[in-house]
């Protein structure tokens, strides 16, 4: 494991004990690293093991096997958490406290000097868009508003690492944009962000790298640029009747709308080869263009079932 | 400007919970249920009192039927349990908080017996054994025992009694839960009359008790004594004491059928009933009736020697024809 | 040192604030005040100068209600935090589980002590109004009752990590209310036992947490003089040791729990 990694997970296995002596392997032999300054998206279907992995990093769960470290320190240690901001999956806070009181108490736990509490809490309230609602009890807050409180407490104290579980859950599009801006701002200052999300569009807008998890194992781990390239499709629309012979390798029939056929390839060379074959078969090339592709389609194809 | 719903310090500490949040709060829910149960227990006991009526002359079959009724059993047991707990409370009050117990079998075999205390008249007799918290030389608990002897009321030696006036509320409460707790009536009336100096209260207490327990000779006996001692109403005293002796004879017969007899305290009370009946008749100048009461008493309660003394006194009065005053 | 204590104090403050705003102590205080004031209606018994009865009712209400509020509030703390997941943002901060556990313990203990003090103040006022004197033993009783709250809170908090909420409340209330009955029962039957039964009874007696030794109410009710200071010191030590044991067991369990 690289000691300069902010997050280092090596062969992590987490087994839950279920009823009647059964056990569930939530995470199985997981290995990943997150370097300093990276923004890494952690995606996968429900039950993939994302939250379990995050809980291990925060020290809420203990590895059955393997190791996890944060800033080179044991995952979940007080020192590691001192430099980490964490947003849990479900935003629940003390219902009878106000947002201001909640953030003030977290400020104490974050070891922020008492003299700075007011200023920092006011700044955070402004930043997450809760101005004017900060003195109401949290039990009056909607899910989205609670999520904002959660984000405020996570970024409190300007941590070096943000670990966010379903950060945009419950947020309206405007709030999501605000969150995105906060994350990009963190990124621009060289901070590290490790977040899980179901919102694939958010992942593509913010991340440097995407890790795809399923059934406790890493399926894919790619830089976003590389991912976009592999998602890109070259589309050829031809007029005529396709010959009965099989399509060449690397060519997929997308649709047939008489008299037009739409074919898809991944590379330019394959597209050029296809063009020649179609012309040799007497079809007319009507149009060729690039389709950047859908991340959802990509993941669905990779995982083999729907990502919700 | 504070918006609706915002907290302030003052509002936090001075706001009263709403009625629904009060009632359905877990703590208050538990306590309210217990309170409701306690409050309901007394009138419930009253309502069921006719069904729970137990007479000394109940036939075995009738006892069995009552025992087999679950509702009556439970209600009866609750009544008796609450009553017994309150009775123990009165003994605790009497002994300044010190709890006494009956001697164990081992102690009895070593010669330690419970002291029978009859100092305040048979109507308030009770037994005092050793204290529940043992003396240091008999305590196996070491330092915990030393601490216990300071935390719990305890003193070595014989029991000492406190002002019995303090027991009165407990007797009044006890009979609300269990109207058939005869000794509560007799003790309570005595303390009301003697220590609280309110014989009217004691008399009324016993009259109420007699209504609930018309078979009880003990209540009539103490009532007669109160008429005699505090009201100097020898006629009413005689009426009550005649009733007492009549009921006692019925009770003796019923007990005899079950191969049982009156206990020591009941025997003591019966003896007192005859004694004060004789004294009442003497006070009324009815010496023949007084002598007949003494004779009957000596037959019914052979061990009660004061009746012999009283008989001599009556004879002297009769001989001197000294008039009605006792 | 203040830096180390600041975090548990913050957790304690949040615990107390939540409890106050949830109206936990209010409902009990209002009910208790109603019952204690009801005891002041002793004149309907028709006898003047009754002191013991008023003190008895007052102390019974104080003891029962303060134990109920302590047990119910404490038993809810950690299970509610885990179930509602309010635990995660707190433990996501640089605070150890031990500090968090201590903060919770501190919070419920302080709140329970405040309820006890409020009841005693109410009782004292009532006794003053009725002209019933109390000696120094009254304040000793207050001290021991406050001490018992720390003891009970430690035990209930520890049990909350092993039992369900309902089981914890039931067992804790039974233990608190029934400890005197248990202790007296052992005294009653001790003489009749022999051999293994005797050893077992004695062992049970020694191991049981003797909450009845924190109840000085009978001495106050019956007008006994104050107890020696060494007894108070001994009970303080006893309470500290037992509370420490419960705290340690609970803390170890909490540190090893998967959340």
CATH number at residue B284: 1.25.40.10
Written as six digits, the tokens of B19 are: 């009625």
Counting every residue, how long is chain B? 326
- Asked if residue B147 is part of any domain, the answer here is yes
pLDDT of B100 over the 90 cut:
no
Q: Is C68 close to B30, i.e. CB distance below 8 A?
A: yes
Report the pLDDT value the prediction gives residue A307, as an integer from 0 to 100. 43
Mean pLDDT is lowest, of A78-82, B94-98, C47-51, for: C47-51
Q: Looking at the complex, does the CB of residue B303 fall below 8 Å from at least one CB of chain C?
A: no
DSSP state of A20: G
Give dist(CA A298, CA B29) in Å, integer.
Answer: 57
Alpha carbon of residue A160 to chain centroid: 18
Q: Is A58 close to C91, i.e. CB distance below 8 A?
A: yes
Q: Are C253 and C162 in contact (CB under 8 A)?
A: yes
Give residue C127's pLDDT band: very low, low, confident or very high (50, 70, 90): confident
Q: Which has more confidence, B29 or B193?
A: B193
| Phi/psi at A37 (5° precision) | 85, -5
Domain boundary residue among B141, B162, B183?
A: B162
Q: What is the dihedral of CA B143, B148, B150, B154, to 10 degrees?
A: -130
Contacts of B2 in chain A (CB under 8 A): 135
Report the pLDDT value the prediction gives residue A171, as an integer from 0 to 100. 75
Best probe of the C interface among B13, B31, B99, B104, by most C CBs < 10 A, is: B31
Q: Are B271 and B306 in contact (CB under 8 A)?
A: yes
Task: Report, as an integer, the average pLDDT of C48-52.
Answer: 74
Tell me what percent of the residues of chain B surpass a pLDDT of 90.
34
**Are B174 and B271 members of one domain?**
yes
3-state secondary structure of A214: strand
Residue-wise pLDDT for B194-236, tens only, equals 888 899 999 999 999 999 999 999 999 999 999 999 999 999 9
Report the domain count for chain C: 1
Give the pairing of strands A161-165 and A84-87. Answer: parallel
Assigned CATH topology for domain A233-291 = Alpha-Beta Plaits (3.30.70)
Residue-wise pLDDT for B35-93, tens only, equals 777 677 666 666 655 555 554 445 555 556 555 666 556 666 666 678 888 888 888 88
Q: How far is B8 from chain A (nearest CA, A)?
A: 9
Q: Is B5 close to A98, i.e. CB distance below 8 A?
A: no
Report the pLDDT value the prediction gives residue A1, as an integer from 0 to 100. 44
Q: Are C15 and C108 in contact (CB under 8 A)?
A: yes
Report the pLDDT value the prediction gives residue A257, as an integer from 0 to 100. 86
Task: Report, as an integer, the average pLDDT of A303-307.
Answer: 52
Residue environment code for B3-29, b if the CB has 16+ CB neighbours within 10 A, otherwise e:
eeeebeeeeeeeeebeeeebeebbbbe
Q: How far is B256 from chain C (nearest CA, A)?
A: 34
What are the start-end ranges of the H helices in A83-190? 99-109, 117-127, 143-155, 173-188
Is the confidence metric ipTM above 0.90 for this complex? no
B residues 291..310 contacting A (CB < 8 A): none
**Are B234 and B108 members of one domain?**
no
Mean pLDDT is lowest, of A201-205, A240-244, C16-20, for: A201-205
**Are B135 and B227 members of one domain?**
no
**Are B203 and B296 members of one domain?**
yes
**Are B260 and B137 members of one domain?**
no
Q: Is A106 close to C90, i.e. CB distance below 8 A?
A: yes
For A243-264, give the DSSP string.
-SSPPPTTEEEEEEETTEEEEE
pLDDT of C157 over the 90 cut:
yes
Task: Report the phi/psi class of residue B211: left, alpha or beta, with left for phi > 0 and alpha for psi in -120 to 50.
Answer: alpha
Give dist(CA B234, CA B83) in Å, integer.
Answer: 34
DSSP state of A131: T
The structure's pTM equals 0.81
Q: Which has more confidence, A47 or C24?
A: A47
**Are B223 and B132 members of one domain?**
no
What is the helix (H) or strand (E) element at residue A6, kind and residue range?
Answer: none
Report the pLDDT value the prediction gives residue C11, as an integer from 0 to 100. 95
Give residue C37's pLDDT band: very low, low, confident or very high (50, 70, 90): confident
Give dist(CA B293, CA A88) in Å, integer.
Answer: 92
Assigned CATH topology for domain A39-51+74-228 = Rossmann fold (3.40.50)
**Are B174 and B302 members of one domain?**
yes
Report the pLDDT value the prediction gives residue B126, as an integer from 0 to 100. 61
**Are B266 and B176 members of one domain?**
yes
Q: Are A149 and A95 in contact (CB under 8 A)?
A: no
**Are B186 and B309 members of one domain?**
yes
Report the pLDDT value the prediction gives residue A306, as an integer from 0 to 100. 42
Strand partners, A237: A262, A287
Task: Report, as an integer, the average pLDDT of B148-160.
Answer: 87
Q: Which domain holds residue B123?
A: 96-162
pLDDT of A69 over the 90 cut:
yes
Task: Report, as an integer, the average pLDDT of A237-258.
Answer: 82
Classify residue C48 as exposed, middle or buried by CB count within 10 Å of its CB (0-12, 13-18, 19+): exposed
Q: Looking at the complex, does the CB of residue B144 fall below 8 Å from at least one CB of chain C?
A: yes
Residue of C nearest to B99 (CA): C184
Of A62, A81, A94, which has the smallest distance from its Cβ to C93's Cβ? Answer: A81
pLDDT of B12 over the 50 cut:
no
What is the helix (H) or strand (E) element at residue B305, kind and residue range?
Answer: none
Report the domain count for chain B: 2
For C116-184, give the DSSP string.
HHHHHHHHHHHHHHTT----HHHHHHHHHHHHHHHHHHHHHHHHTTTS-HHHHHHHHHHHHHHHHHHHH
Report the pLDDT value the prediction gives residue A224, as an integer from 0 to 100. 81
Residue-wise pLDDT for A128-152, tens only, equals 888 888 898 998 998 888 888 998 9
Contacts of C86 in chain A (CB under 8 A): 92-94
For tokens 């969150």, name the residue: A179
Q: Are A206 and A187 in contact (CB under 8 A)?
A: yes
Q: Are A61 and C258 in contact (CB under 8 A)?
A: yes
Report the pLDDT value the prediction gives residue B74, as an integer from 0 to 100. 64
Between CA C87 and CA C90, with CA C88 as vertex, the angle to 5 degrees is 70
C residues 176..205 contacting B (CB < 8 A): 184, 187-188, 190-192, 202, 205
Q: Which domain holds residue C126?
A: 2-256
B residues 5..64 contacting A (CB < 8 A): 5-7
pLDDT of A85 over the 90 cut:
yes
Average pLDDT of the residues of chain A: 85
Residue B211: partners with Cβ closer than 8 Å, 6 or more residues away = none
Give dist(CA A57, CA A32) in Å, integer.
Answer: 12
Sign for the CA dihedral angle at B111, B114, B118, B122 comes to: negative
Residue-wise pLDDT for C52-80, tens only, equals 888 888 898 889 989 998 999 999 999 99
**Are B127 and B234 members of one domain?**
no
Strand partners, A212: A43, A220
- Give the residue range(s) of CATH 3.40.50.300 domains in chain A: 39-51+74-228
Report the pLDDT value the prediction gives residue C165, as an integer from 0 to 100. 92
Tell me the count of A-C CB pairs closer than 8 A. Answer: 72
Q: How far is C145 from chain A (nearest CA, A)?
A: 29
Classify residue A30 as exposed, middle or buried by CB count within 10 Å of its CB (0-12, 13-18, 19+): buried
Task: Report, as an integer, the average pLDDT of B263-279.
Answer: 89
Give dist(CA A104, CA A123) in Å, integer.
Answer: 12
Q: How far is B4 from chain A (nearest CA, A)?
A: 9
Give residue C7's pLDDT band: very low, low, confident or very high (50, 70, 90): very high
- Give the residue range(s) of CATH 3.30.70 domains in chain A: 233-291
Task: Report, as an integer, the average pLDDT of C2-23.
Answer: 88
Sign for the CA dihedral angle at A167, A168, A170, A172 comes to: positive
Residue-wise pLDDT for C179-223, tens only, equals 888 888 888 888 788 889 889 989 989 999 999 999 999 999 999
CA-CA distances (angstroms) from residue A304 to A26, A108, A219? 19, 46, 11
Q: Is A109 close to C94, i.e. CB distance below 8 A?
A: yes
Q: Which has more confidence, B46 or C130?
A: C130
Most confident of A255-259, B64-68, B173-177, B275-279: B275-279
Residue-wise pLDDT for B161-171, tens only, equals 888 888 888 89
Integer distance in angstroms from the first to the last C-alpha of chain B?
A: 87
Give residue C126's pLDDT band: very low, low, confident or very high (50, 70, 90): confident
Residue of C nearest to A51 (CA): C259
Contacts of A152 in chain C (CB under 8 A): none
Of B26, B97, B104, which has the smallest distance from its Cβ to C218's Cβ? Answer: B97
B57 HSE (CA, 13 A, CB side): 11
**Are B118 and B236 members of one domain?**
no
Q: How far is C107 from chain B (nearest CA, A)?
A: 17
Q: Which has more confidence, C54 or A303?
A: C54
Residue-wise pLDDT for B15-24, tens only, equals 554 555 555 5
């Amino acid at each position: 494991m690289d000691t300069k990694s902010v997050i280092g997970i090596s062969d992590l296995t987490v087994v839950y004990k279920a009823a009647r002596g059964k056990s569930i392997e939530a995470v199985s032999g997981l290995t990943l690293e997150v370097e300093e300054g990276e923004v890494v998206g952690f995606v996968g279907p429900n039950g993939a093991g994302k939250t379990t992995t995050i809980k291990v990093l925060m020290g809420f769960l203990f590895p059955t096997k393997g190791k996890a470290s944060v800033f080179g320190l044991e995952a979940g240690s007080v020192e590691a958490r001192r430099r980490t901001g964490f947003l849990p999956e479900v935003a629940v806070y003390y219902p009878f406290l106000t947002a201001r009181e909640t953030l003030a108490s977290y400020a104490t736990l974050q070891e922020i000097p008492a003299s700075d509490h007011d200023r920092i809490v006011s700044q955070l309230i402004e930043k997450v868009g809760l101005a004017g609602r900060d003195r109401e009890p949290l039990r009056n807050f909607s899910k989205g508003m609670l999520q904002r409180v959660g984000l405020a407490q996570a970024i409190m104290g300007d941590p070096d690492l943000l670990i966010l579980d379903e950060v945009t859950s419950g947020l309206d599009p405007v709030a999501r944009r605000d969150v995105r801006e906060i994350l990009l701002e963190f990124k621009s200052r060289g901070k590290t962000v490790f977040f899980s999300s179901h919102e694939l569009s958010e992942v593509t807008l913010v991340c440097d790298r995407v890790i795809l998890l399923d059934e406790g194992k890493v399926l894919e781990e790619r830089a976003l640029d590389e991912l976009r390239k592999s998602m890109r499709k070259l589309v050829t629309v031809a007029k005529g009747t396709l010959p009965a012979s099989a399509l060449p390798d690397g060519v997929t029939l997308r649709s047939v709308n008489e008299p037009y056929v739409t074919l898809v390839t991944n590379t330019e060379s394959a597209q050029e080869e296809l063009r020649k074959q179609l012309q040799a078969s007497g079809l007319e090339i009507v149009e060729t263009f690039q389709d950047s592709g859908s991340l959802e389609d990509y993941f669905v194809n990779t995982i083999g079932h729907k990502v919700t | 400007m504070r918006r609706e719903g915002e907290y302030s310090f003052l509002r936090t500490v001075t706001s009263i919970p709403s009625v629904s949040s009060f009632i359905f709060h877990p703590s208050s829910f538990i306590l309210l249920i217990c309170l409701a149960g306690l409050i309901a227990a007394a009138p419930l006991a009253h309502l069921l009192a006719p069904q729970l009526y137990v007479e000394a002359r109940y036939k075995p079959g009738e006892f069995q039927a009552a025992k087999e009724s679950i509702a009556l059993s439970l209600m009866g047991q609750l009544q008796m349990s609450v009553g017994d707990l309150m009775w123990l409370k009165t003994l605790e009050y009497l002994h300044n908080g010190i709890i006494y117990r009956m001697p164990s079998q081992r102690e009895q075999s070593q010669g330690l017996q419970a002291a029978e205390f009859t100092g305040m008249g048979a109507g308030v007799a009770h037994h005092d054994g050793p204290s529940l918290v043992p003396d240091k030389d008999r305590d196996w608990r070491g330092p915990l025992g030393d601490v216990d002897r300071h935390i719990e009321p305890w003193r070595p030696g014989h029991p000492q009694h406190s002002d019995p006036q303090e027991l009165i509320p407990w007797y009044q409460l006890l009979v609300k839960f269990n109207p058939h707790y005869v000794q509560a009536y007799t003790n309570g009336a005595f303390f009301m009359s003697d220590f609280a100096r309110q014989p009217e209260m004691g008399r009324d207490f016993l009259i109420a008790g007699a209504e609930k327990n018309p078979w009880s000779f003990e209540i009539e006996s103490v009532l007669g004594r109160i008429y005699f001692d505090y009201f100097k109403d020898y006629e009413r005293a005689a009426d009550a004491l005649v009733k007492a002796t009549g009921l006692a004879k019925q009770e003796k017969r019923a007990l005899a059928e079950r191969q049982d007899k009156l206990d020591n305290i009941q025997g003591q009370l019966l003896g007192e009933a005859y004694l004060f009946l004789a004294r009442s008749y003497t006070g009324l100048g009815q010496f023949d009736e007084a002598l007949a009461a003494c004779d009957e008493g000596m037959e019914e309660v052979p061990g009660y020697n004061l009746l012999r003394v009283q008989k001599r006194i009556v004879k002297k009065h009769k001989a001197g024809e000294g008039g009605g005053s006792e | 040192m203040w830096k180390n204590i600041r975090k548990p104090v913050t957790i304690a403050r949040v615990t107390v604030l939540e409890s106050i705003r949830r109206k936990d102590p209010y409902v009990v205080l209002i009910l208790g005040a109603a019952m204690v004031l009801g005891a002041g209606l002793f004149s309907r018994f028709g006898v003047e100068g009754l002191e013991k009865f008023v003190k008895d009712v007052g102390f019974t209400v104080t003891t029962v209600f303060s134990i109920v509020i302590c047990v119910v509030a404490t038993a809810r703390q950690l299970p509610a935090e885990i179930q509602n997941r309010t635990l995660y943002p707190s433990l996501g901060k640089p605070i150890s589980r031990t500090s968090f556990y201590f903060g919770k313990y501190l919070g419920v203990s302080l709140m329970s002590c405040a309820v006890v003090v409020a009841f005693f103040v109410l009782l004292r006022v009532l006794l003053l109004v009725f002209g019933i004197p109390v000696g120094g033993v009254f304040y000793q009783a207050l001290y021991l009752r406050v001490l018992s709250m720390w003891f009970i809170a430690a035990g209930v908090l520890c049990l909350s990590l092993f039992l369900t909420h309902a089981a914890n409340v039931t067992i804790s209330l039974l233990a608190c209310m029934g400890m005197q009955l248990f202790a007296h029962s052992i005294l009653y039957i001790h003489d009749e036992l022999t051999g293994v039964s005797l050893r077992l009874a004695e062992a049970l007696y020694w191991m049981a947490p003797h909450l009845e030794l924190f109840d000085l109410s009978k001495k106050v009710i019956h007008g006994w003089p104050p107890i020696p200071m060494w007894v108070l010191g001994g009970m303080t030590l006893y309470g500290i040791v037992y509370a420490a044991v419960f705290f340690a067991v609970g803390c170890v369990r909490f540190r090893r729990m998967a959340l």
